[in-house]
Chains A and B, each alone.
Chain A
Amino acid sequence: MLLKGKYMTYLNLENLSISFKNDKVISNLNAKIDKGEFFVVFGPSGSGKTVLLRLLSGIMLLDDGKIEMGSEVINELQPEERDISMAFQNFALYPHMKAYDNIASPLRAKKNLIPDDEIDLKVREVASLLKIEHVLNQFPKELSNGQKQRTSLARSLISKPSVVLLDDPLRNVDAKIRFEMRLELPKVLKEFNTTVVYVTQDFREAMALGDRIAVLYEGKFNDIDSPKNIYQNPSSLTTAKLFGDPTINNFDANIKKQNEFVVINVNGEQFKLKRKTNIQDGDCIVGIRPEDIILSNEPSENSIEVEFRTKTPLNLRIVFLVRLKNGLELLCSATEEESQLIDEDKKMYISFLEEKSHFFDLETKRNLE
């Protein structure tokens, strides 16, 4: 774990479970979140991300398990009693209150009354941090989506809660604002020095923002690790498939170790990788990311001849679809400069970056290394 030792565990989730009717949405979910950490929960839609946030915030109650915050068990506390705030995916602003009153709401709720001038000071401070001072006097329906989203963020931050839950806050804003906020958000959140649980279904957002990423899949955390490890060293094929665009190539193959080489046998074709591994000989699933396949017109020592199928540009890279002689199709990607050097009418060869291939168990899909 990336931050272990640097901070202490603050939010401890133990065996969280909840089901609706007979559908187990979250089952035996565990995680330890550190104080001040930016913890990203990533998962495909329908994986239970929003439900998880609702459990943490107290909007929904657990069937089973324990949520510990600091040294206090908060399972049974009402939402208003937990020192947790949340920015909703749909903003959930109060339509009958101006932006100013929306933001001031958490301060006005405090039992020991905060004087109005102090509230005013704080609202303006957080509004200037989020660049929405000029819309404080407007009603939610008069705000653009970006402004609504900033208002909702301001509201969740103003009372400096111990934990801030952000439910896919960038989902409903346009691409330009999303990008701006992706840059700005970590800076803003740092000012508040709070523990953040951030939910998203965009793997790039997860990788850009998170100190650690937890991959939620079928009600459990499949992986909890740093963005770099999740991407480069996925613990399972499921995780590997969720991160990366285009997705990782994967195919069934037979592995045999020969001296310093690993030989991957797939329907009569052989890839020979010079690479150390501790896995056993036998059948498994091989995964390799498109950018880890080298494409060339020149054969090299361990390369394999392929047939060109098609190509398309994607995120500043060119993605090639190629076919092996045995019919297996693979995606490879190259930078624009690299791809200009490749002549599609000539013979093409591929080889794997040796350290970048992954081997997964056929049954459990776990990483075998």
Chain B
Amino acid sequence: MKINIWSLLKILAYIAIIMFFLFPIAWIFNMSFMTNDEILRKVPVLFYEPTLNNYIGLWKGEIASEGFATMYVFFKQNLINSAILSVGSVSVTLLLGVPAAYAFARYKFKGGEDIAFTLLSFRFAPALLIILPLNLYFSKIGLYDSYFALIWVYQLITLPLLLWIVRGYFEDISPDIEYAYRLDGHSWFQSFWRISIPLAKPGIAAASLLCFIYAWNNFVFALILGSSQIQPVTVGALAFITASAIPYGLIACGIVVSVLPTLVLALFIQKYLVQGLSLGAIKG
């Protein structure tokens, strides 16, 4: 049988690319089931007896290992904090951003473009530039160490992100479809709710996902603007590194757990990302 050299090379290239991207993830996934000794062995092992100790320890918040003092982590609380901050941010962004995106798409008003661009420009400023003044202000007005403050700051990034993505989707919907719905006897709000929003759904879904990922992964705002009471997993994971030890298995386990929600959400939202729903209803 003749083997096509090109298809063989192609397959090898695919494998190389997949290895390149997936290897660290697979390795971390593996690590989370290993003991620290197994991880730190000089010649890495491929076969080992998997242990759930890392997960159990993470859940309990107490990690006792031989020869070291018992370590206390607040990973569970961090996880809940992450969820509150991310869901809260995305909710606020949706509530404010979708109507705003619609307004920017449909209505021409004085200074409209300037406002939209100003919102976008928030994304240009590096977070470190604004974080110290923000810290001072928040301490003064009593917002330091509150969920509200972090959700508010996240809006600087998530709001413009959603606004600019969803705006484009609204602009792609022919206004005639909305007018037709109103001529059928529906109010403005009904046409917004039952026509514009469903048709912009792929955009809203994609933007929400990106906002969620941003909020979930954010590190620097949460580090500076809150205490461990409200800190998310990204910051909470720092607590694993202590003077006495670096428990790699635990860290790996924390990473796996904290990646899961985003992964599940991405898979769930995928079906809304289908394009082309609005094709074919308009001619001209």
State the CA gap A78–B186 with chains docked (Å). Answer: 10
Complex contacts, B283 vs chain A, CB 8 Å: 90-91, 145, 148, 172
Q: Are B184 and A109 in contact (CB under 8 A)?
A: yes
Question: Would you call A57 and B281 a contact (CB within 8 A)?
Answer: no
Q: How far, in whole Å, are A322 and B134 apart by their CA atoms in the complex? A: 86
Q: Which of A81-89, A213-221, A238-246, A259-267 contacts B (4 or more CB under 8 A)?
A: A81-89
Residue of A nearest to B194 (CB): A94
B174 lies within 8 A of A90 (CB): yes
What CA separation (Å) do A105 and B181 show in the bound complex?
Answer: 8
Are A141 and B284 closer than 8 Å at their CB atoms?
no
From B182, B190, B281, name the one whose CB has the most chain A CB atoms within 10 angstroms: B281
A residues within 8 A CB of B187? 78, 80
Please, which residue of chain A has its CB at the minimum distance from the CB of B188?
A78
Residues of B within 8 A of A145 (CB): 283
Contact partner, B282, options A92, A105, A106, Cβ 8 Å: A92
What chain A residues lie within 8 Å of B281 (beta carbons)?
91-95, 140-141, 148
> Does A159 interact with chain B (Cβ within 8 Å)?
yes
Query: Known contacts A92-B281, A95-B199: does B185 contact A86 (CB below 8 Å)?
Result: no
Chain B residues closer than 8 Å to A105, beta-carbon distance: 181, 184, 186
> Interface 1/0s, chain B 164-186, versus A by CB < 8 A?
00000000001011011111111
Q: Does A110 reach chain B (CB closer than 8 Å)? A: yes
A155 within 8 A of B: yes
Q: Tell whether, in the assembled complex, residue B280 and residue A140 are in contact, meaning their CB atoms are under 8 Å apart.
A: yes
- Mask: chain B, 191-216; 1 = CB below 8 Å from A; 0 = not: 00001001100000000000000000
Known contacts A140-B281, A141-B281; is-contact A94 B179 (Cβ 8 Å): no
Instruction: Tell yes or no: B263 within 8 A of A by CB.
Output: no
Chain A residues with Cβ under 8 A from B190's Cβ?
Answer: 109
- CB under 8 Å from chain B, chain A span 51-86: 57-59, 78-80, 84-86
Q: Is B22 an interface residue (CB 8 A)?
A: no
Chain A interface size, as a band, is 20 to 34
Q: Is B277 part of the binding interface, using a Cβ–Cβ cutoff of 8 Å?
A: yes
A90-B282 CB under 8 A given contacts A79-B183, A80-B185, A105-B181: yes
Give the residues from 84 to 135 in chain A that come closer than 8 angstroms, CB to CB, to chain B.
84-86, 88-96, 105-106, 109-110
Task: List A contacts of B182 (CB < 8 A).
Answer: 59, 78-80
The complex places the Cα of A335 from the Cα of B3 at a distance, in Å, of 72
Q: Counting CB contacts under 8 A, is B279 at the interface? A: yes
CB distance from A206 to the nearest CB of B (A): 20
State A139–B278 Cα separation when bound (angstroms).
10
CB neighbours (8 Å) of A142 from chain B are 280
B8 shortest CB reach to chain A, Å: 41
Pair B184/A95 contact, Cβ less than 8 Å: no
B177 adjacent to A94 (CB under 8 Å): yes
Q: How far is the CA of A57 from the CA of B175 in the complex (A)?
A: 14
On whether the beta carbons of B185 and A96 are closer than 8 Å, the reply is no
Contact A172 B186, beta carbon cutoff 8 Å:
no
Q: Are B280 and A95 in contact (CB under 8 A)?
A: yes
- Closest approach, in angstroms, between the C-beta of B190 and any C-beta of chain A? 8
The reply to whether B179 and A92 contact each other, CB–CB distance below 8 Å, is yes
Q: Which residues from chain A contact B282 at a C-beta distance below 8 Å? A: 90-93, 95
Given contacts A89-B284, A145-B283, contact A106 B184 (CB under 8 A): yes
Bound-state CA distance A78–B181 (Å) is 12
**Set of chain A residues within 8 Å of B277, measured between Cβ atoms:** 95-96
A148 to B177, CA, bound (A): 13
Q: Are the C-beta atoms of A90 and B183 separated by less than 8 Å?
A: no
Query: Are A88 and B185 touching (Cβ within 8 A)?
Result: no
Minimum distance in angstroms from A95 CB to a CB of chain B: 4
Residue on A nearest B187 in the bound complex, by CB: A80
Q: Nearest Cβ in chain A — how far from B9, in angstroms?
A: 40
Residues on the A chain within 8 Å of B174, using CB? 90, 92
Q: Mark A318-336, 1 if CB is under 8 A from B, else 0.
A: 0000000000000000000
For A85, list chain B residues within 8 Å (CB): 183-184
B183 neighbours in A (Cβ, 8 Å):
57-59, 79-80, 84-86, 156
CA distance A145 to B284 in the complex (A): 11
Q: Please indicate the chain B residues that have their CB under 8 angstroms from the CB of A89 in the complex.
A: 284
A21 to chain B minimum Cβ distance, whole angstroms, is 12
- Residues of chain B within 8 A of A143, CB atoms compared: 280
Least CB distance from B45 to A in Å reads 54
Instruction: Give chain A residues whose Cβ lies under 8 Å from the Cβ of B284.
Output: 89-90, 172
Determine the chain B residues whose CB is within 8 A of the CB of A78 once the complex forms: 182, 187-188
- Contact indicator B181/A94 (Cβ below 8 Å): yes
B177 touches A159 (CB 8 A): no
Tell me the bound Cα distance from A142 to B278 in angstroms. 12
A140-B281, A141-B280, A148-B283 given; A92·B176 CB < 8 A: yes
Q: Are A59 and B179 in contact (CB-based, < 8 A)?
A: yes
- Cβ 8 A contact of B177, one of A92, A141, A156: A92
B180 / chain A contacts, CB cutoff of 8 Å: 86, 88, 92-94, 155
Q: Across the interface, which residues of B come within 8 angstroms of A58, CB to CB?
A: 183
Q: Which residues of A contact B279 (CB under 8 A)?
A: 95, 141
CA distance A85 to B181 in the complex (A): 10
A96 CB contacts on chain B under 8 angstroms: 198-199, 277-278
* Closest beta carbon of chain A to B124's beta carbon, Å: 33
- A93-B277 Cα distance, complex, nearest whole Å: 12
Contacts of A148 in B (CB 8 A): 281, 283
Residues on B with C-beta less than 8 A from A92 are 174, 176-177, 179-180, 281-282
A-B residue pairs in contact (CB < 8 Å), sample of 10:
A90-B176, A90-B284, A92-B174, A94-B281, A95-B281, A105-B186, A106-B185, A142-B280, A143-B280, A155-B180
Given A59-B183, A80-B183, A155-B184, 6 additional A-B pairs, CB 8 A: A86-B180, A92-B179, A95-B177, A95-B282, A106-B184, A139-B280
